[in-house]
Amino acid sequence: MRSARYIKLTIIAIATGLLLGCGDDGGNATGDSQIGQPDGGASVEPSSSFKSLTQYDVAAGTFEVTTDTAAGVTKVELLADGKVVAEATAAPFSISWDTTATPDGVVKLSLKAHADAKNATSDEIPVVVLNNGEEVTFTEGSEQTVTIDPALDNHVKVHWTMPAGVKTLIGVVFWDNREFKMELAMGTGNCPHSGQQACSISGESSPLMTAYPEGVATGTLGETLWFVHAGATNEADLAGKTCKFTFKAFLLK
């Protein structure tokens, strides 16, 4: 019985020694580094973001997109409304997008970065494809500032004369005071009160965008005075507060 027990303990000791011997110098167990994965096996976390693109920029012709892309990424795709429209496969991952293959209008762009078997998609940024139209130059300029006075009409507006052949109007307002909740309206004449409002939208965060008509255009817009009009919907809470408005409008033909 003693002999059998001695043999059994010896076998266990030998097996334990073999397991401990599987490590590198000093007996510490390590795994093999995976090819293409830096830092001893840590996989690349893909990421890419737009380097110089702001909301409602105009995209026309061949549009160049520059990116900030993480090390180890092997491909970056440009997506327009979720569809791949262009890509780059080498650093610095600058992408050329032929916008003429995309219909004019608002398009949401994002970047999809690939590394190893992983991929990640950036937040979307809206731009305006504008190959058959123009951006509006307002009579009063694109920036207006207001300080809320409860005794006054604190809405601001900008105007232009509509050229011939325009089928769709896109209006955007940006503002710099987050306390302001905003309404954006567009239409013909001097303003919604003395003219004809075509469309409007309200929201709590900058920017706001609206378009007229909302669906497929069936005709052209009147060649007359048009306005983009904005004002705070919570004006009663903003006495003495100042806000800068920045307007954009796009005419699609």
Q: Tell me the CATH number at 138.
A: 2.60.120.380
Same domain, 100 and 51: yes
Element holding 15 (H helix, E strand) = helix 2-20
Q: Is 165 within 8 Å of 145 (Cβ atoms)? A: no
Q: Is 164 within 8 Å of 220 (Cβ atoms)? A: yes
How far apart (Å, rounded) are the C-alpha atoms in residues 248 and 69?
30
Same domain, 137 and 247: yes
Same domain, 112 and 197: no
How far apart (Å, rounded) are the C-alpha atoms in residues 212 and 199?
6
Task: Give the number of domains in the chain.
Answer: 2
The dihedral through the CA atoms of 15, 18, 22, 28 has a sign that is positive
pLDDT of residue 243: 98
pLDDT of residue 8: 45
- Token pair 């325009």 in the structure block, residue: 166
Q: Is 221 within 8 Å of 166 (Cβ atoms)? A: yes
Please, which residues have CB within 8 angstroms of residue 253's CB and are 6 or more apart in sequence? 132, 133, 165, 166, 167
Same domain, 150 and 204: yes
Report yes or no on 34 lying in a domain: no
What is the β-pairing status of strands 57-59 and 125-129? parallel
Of the residues 111, 129, 147, the one at which a domain ends: 129
22 versus 41: the higher-pLDDT residue is 41
pLDDT of residue 192: 84
Same domain, 123 and 185: no
Same domain, 246 and 138: yes
At residue 42 the predicted structure's pLDDT band, cuts being 50, 70 and 90, is low
Over 60: is that where the pLDDT of 232 sits? yes
How far apart (Å, rounded) are the C-alpha atoms in residues 188 and 226?
4
Of the residues 129, 150, 180, the one at which a domain ends: 129
Positions of E strands within 11-161: 48-50, 57-59, 62-65, 67-69, 75-80, 83-88, 95-98, 105-115, 118-121, 125-129, 133-135, 143-147, 156-161
pLDDT of residue 15: 40
Q: How far is CA 151 from the centre of its chain?
A: 39
Same domain, 171 and 227: yes
pLDDT of residue 217: 82
Over 90: is that where the pLDDT of 65 sits? yes
141 versus 34: the higher-pLDDT residue is 141
Same domain, 103 and 164: no
194 versus 127: the higher-pLDDT residue is 127
Mean predicted confidence (pLDDT) in 236-240: 97
pLDDT of residue 216: 81
Q: Give SS3 for 71.
A: coil
Over 80: is that where the pLDDT of 86 sits? yes
How far apart (Å, rounded) are the C-alpha atoms in residues 102 and 66?
19
Same domain, 86 and 150: no
Structural domain of 161: 133-252
The CATH number that applies at residue 86 is 2.60.40.10
Of the residues 97, 129, 161, the one at which a domain ends: 129
pLDDT of residue 205: 97
Reading the block at residue 70, the tokens are: 């993480």
Over 70: is that where the pLDDT of 34 sits? no
Same domain, 76 and 148: no
At residue 21 the predicted structure's pLDDT band, cuts being 50, 70 and 90, is very low
Over 50: is that where the pLDDT of 174 sits? yes
Query: What is the chain's mean pLDDT, rounded?
Result: 87
Q: Which residues pair with 225 in a beta bridge?
A: 161
Tens digits of per-residue pLDDT, 128-170? Answer: 999 999 999 999 999 999 999 999 999 999 999 999 999 999 9
At residue 193 the predicted structure's pLDDT band, cuts being 50, 70 and 90, is confident
At residue 1 the predicted structure's pLDDT band, cuts being 50, 70 and 90, is very low
